[in-house]
Structure 1
Amino acid sequence: MNIPKGKKIYFASDNHLGAPNKKASLPREKKFVAWLDEIKKDAAAIFLMGDLFDFWFEYKTVVPKGFTRTLGKLAEISDSGIPIYYFVGNHDLWMNGYFEEELNIPVYHKPKEFTFNDTSFFIGHGDGLGPGDKGYKRMKKVFTNRFCKWLFRWLHPDLGVKLAQYLSVENKLISGEEDAKFLGEDNEWLIQYCKRKQSEKHRDFYIFGHRHLPLEIALENNSKYINLGDWINYYTYGVFDGTTMELKTYSHQFK
């Protein structure tokens, strides 16, 4: 993808809309929508890196209630011709066509490589990658199993969504999250993952979410691992202008 002069690529991750409840989530959603409204003026593309929602499950004829502001803004931006790419996270594993059909937004379930102006990017949410985290990796296999998803779909949405929201907040094994504290390069599984991928093939940037920490870590051969942070505590996002990749903070306030 060639980035036209004056245009930029934007990256954001881990909004967890709906958590811990609708009232607390609403100001964060309004802030995110305001950010989308601002960046559409010079966006060549937008990458949403997972966990936009704290829970998302698509029944055949039902999707979770709410998030109208966000979905409407994404539809508007997509309809205007600005491409949006979505990478599912550990809280929204169960996407099954709604974003593609209603919003014209492609959805990816695994990391993917992109090239912008001859600069290579390896992009994904980040859950279950690298060494360790074996408990979550086993749980993820259950969540993505077709039979298990079929069983869950038989629960009435009022019951299924309520149960999943409770587990999302209370069970850290299911959420796949650790406390958002930097553990050091040797103990950060995503950094270890990026180092291994870099030893196999050079990429200029590795862009991930999931850790809820804004991080910029230098790798070998002038490569860099960037974690996008979140839209709960940091309101950080990434922007690539065709030459430079930066982490920035959105400061607009909503109540």
Structure 2
Amino acid sequence: MNINLKENQKIFFASDFHLGSPDHKTSRKREDKIIKWLKSIENEAAAIFLVGDLFDFWFEFDTVIPKGFIRFMGKIAQLRDRGIPIFFFTGNHDLWMKDYFTKELNIPVYHNPINLEINHKKFLIGHGDGLGPGDKKYKILKKFFTSKVCQFIFKWLHPDIGLAIAHKWSSQSRSSNMAKNEDKFLGNGEWLWEYCKNVEDKMHFDYYIFGHRHLPLELPVGKNSKYINLGEWLSQNTFAEFNGKELKLKKFEK
């Protein structure tokens, strides 16, 4: 995929909205803030990449989607109607996203990292869960959750039962991650940073963009590359902006 920016156009990246968490009232306030951010960038956005965990849980039954988030979905529908490309990535909390957004809004959904070129700069973009060394327990769980057998069994649960179980699991998963110093920089223990270094040894990218870590980071990868972690919108409201020449990590303050 190649994107060439026109004058005054920019590419925007954000992740980890976790809409639905931890309760309806808090999530609605966050949803309003995300919509304000989308409004603030729409006139200069050449494309928007939403890089996983947009929802705290998401599952598409054959004819049912989770209740809520209607304002967010309405806003991205409006952006698509304006012709602004939007790209969704699944994260560990919404990995059961299928083709609803693709069919309804022509928004592609990616389950794995992708590489692309923007103004002759090479990008590797993904959510980041399950990449790099360590985290073996989650990698095993991810294989189970992404199996067709697991999805088939869950699909046949009544949505009220299935979603209640899923939200309970999602809440416990988030609490567990926070207890494991999720918000602290781990130096050489940053496994996504190590993953980027390993990739760079084999293939060059100018920018590595990931979410999942809930920690805004901008770190060197070799001599000519950067690893950017997008942070989250539970408290930080951070995003990345590429103007065709350089990429900056920013915070939405409005």
Q: Would the TM-score normalized by the shorter structure come out above 0.5? A: yes
Task: Write the distance in 2 (CA, Å) between the matches of 1:110 and 1:215.
Answer: 21
* Secondary structure of the structure 2 residue equivalent to 1:203: coil
- 1:110 corresponds to: 112
- 1:39 corresponds to: 41
Once the two structures are TM-superposed, the CA of residue 96 in structure 1 deviates from its matched residue by 1.3
Once the two structures are TM-superposed, the CA of residue 244 in structure 1 deviates from its matched residue by 1.2
Q: 1:231 aligns with which of 218, 233, 236?
A: 233
For the pair 1:122 / 2:98, whether they are aligned, the reply is no
Superimposed CA distance per residue, residues 154-199 of structure 1 (whole angstroms, 9 cap, x where no aligned partner)? 1100110111001100135997994323343311110010000000
**Aligned-partner residue type, residue 132 of structure 2:** G
Within 5 Å, give how 1:83-232 maps onto structure 2. 83-171=85-173, 178-232=180-234
Superimposed CA distance per residue, residues 85-114 of structure 1 (whole angstroms, 9 cap, x where no aligned partner)? 111000000011101011110000000001
Task: Write the distance in 2 (CA, Å) between the matches of 1:152 and 1:71.
Answer: 24
- Contact persistence 1:206–1:226 (CA under 8 A): yes
Once the two structures are TM-superposed, the CA of residue 80 in structure 1 deviates from its matched residue by 1.0
Misfit runs of 4+, over 6 Å:
173-177
For the pair 1:241 / 2:239, whether they are aligned, the reply is no
- Contact persistence 1:8–1:242 (CA under 8 A): yes
**Aligned-partner residue type, residue 159 of structure 2:** P
Q: CA RMSD in A?
A: 1.5
Q: Number of residues paired by the alignment?
A: 252
- 1:12 corresponds to: 14
- What is the TM-score normalised by the length of structure 2? 0.96
- Contact persistence 1:120–1:204 (CA under 8 A): yes
**Aligned-partner residue type, residue 141 of structure 1:** K
The percentage of aligned residue pairs carrying the same residue is 52
Once the two structures are TM-superposed, the CA of residue 233 in structure 1 deviates from its matched residue by 1.3
Task: Write the distance in 1 (CA, Å) between the matches of 2:100 and 2:160.
Answer: 19
- 1:250 corresponds to: 252
- 1:30 corresponds to: 32
Task: Write the distance in 1 (CA, Å) between the matches of 2:179 and 2:37.
Answer: 26
- Contact persistence 1:136–1:176 (CA under 8 A): no
Once the two structures are TM-superposed, the CA of residue 65 in structure 1 deviates from its matched residue by 0.2
Task: Write the distance in 2 (CA, Å) between the matches of 1:171 and 1:110.
Answer: 21
Task: Write the distance in 2 (CA, Å) between the matches of 1:120 and 1:99.
Answer: 26
Q: Which runs of 5+ in 2 are unaligned?
A: none
Superimposed CA distance per residue, residues 199-235 of structure 1 (whole angstroms, 9 cap, x where no aligned partner)? 0011000000000000000111210000000001110
Task: Write the distance in 2 (CA, Å) between the matches of 1:91 and 1:176.
Answer: 15
**Aligned-partner residue type, residue 107 of structure 1:** V
